[in-house]
Amino acid sequence: MKWNAHAGILPGEENADCEEFDARVVENERRIFQIAYGVLGDAADAEDVAQDAFIRAWRRRRSLREREKFSAWVGRITFRLALNRRKARRRQVVRDTRWHVARTAGAANAAGQAEQRLHLAQLRVEIDRLPGKLRAVLLLAAVEGLDSREIASILRVPAGTVRSRLHAARRRLLEATE
């Protein structure tokens, strides 16, 4: 991902914090990409979301009061943007899957594939049904592989809360898919 804050400066906009922002982007671009990729599972979408997150952070940079919290701040922005994109993509997949299943329901081979697709769709639906707090920790831990301290920093909650939410999310998914 190539980022240059100078390219996004409007005529007459002050240039003082461009280098600092560029340095923070370089420090965080891999982690931000990984967060987006962990939620989306697609490199192209993850790059788009990471770029969007940095653009949003650039536009709102003056609202960040504690500069040392940049990493967690842009991480939260990324996570939310990635979730929004994933939800939009899932809605499209569910529509496409329903259409495809309806067309191929008569074939024996297609029936097995449809069952598998429906199971995956059910799992996605169950994940989406989780309360936002549980879904967030599940996605950050299971998909991104972040530990409870990193998740706590992104979500601004204690690490113990992260662990209890993760346990509750896993338990609910297990119960819903049995």
Q: What average pLDDT score do residues 29-43 get?
A: 88
Angle formed by the axes of helices 108-129 and 70-104, nearest 10° = 150
User: What pLDDT score does 99 carry?
Assistant: 57
Domains for the chain: give ranges and CATH numbers.
130-178 (1.10.10.10)
46-90 pLDDT per residue, tens: 999 999 999 999 988 888 888 788 988 999 999 999 998 888 877
Can you tell me the distance from the alpha carbon of 121 to that of 161, in angstroms, rounded to the nearest whole number?
29
Q: Which among 151, 149, 121 is positioned nearest to 134, based on CA atoms?
A: 151
131-170 pLDDT per residue, tens: 888 888 888 887 778 888 888 888 889 999 999 998 998 8
Question: How does residue 103 score in pLDDT terms, banded at 50, 70 and 90?
Answer: low
Read off the pTM: 0.52
CA 53 to chain centre: 11
User: What pLDDT score does 9 carry?
Assistant: 47
Find all residues with CB under 8 Å of 77, minimum gap 6, and list them.
53, 56, 57
Can you tell me the distance from the alpha carbon of 84 to that of 23, in angstroms, rounded to the nearest whole number?
27
User: What pLDDT score does 11 carry?
Assistant: 45
Q: Which among 27, 19, 81 is positioned nearest to 55, based on CA atoms?
A: 81
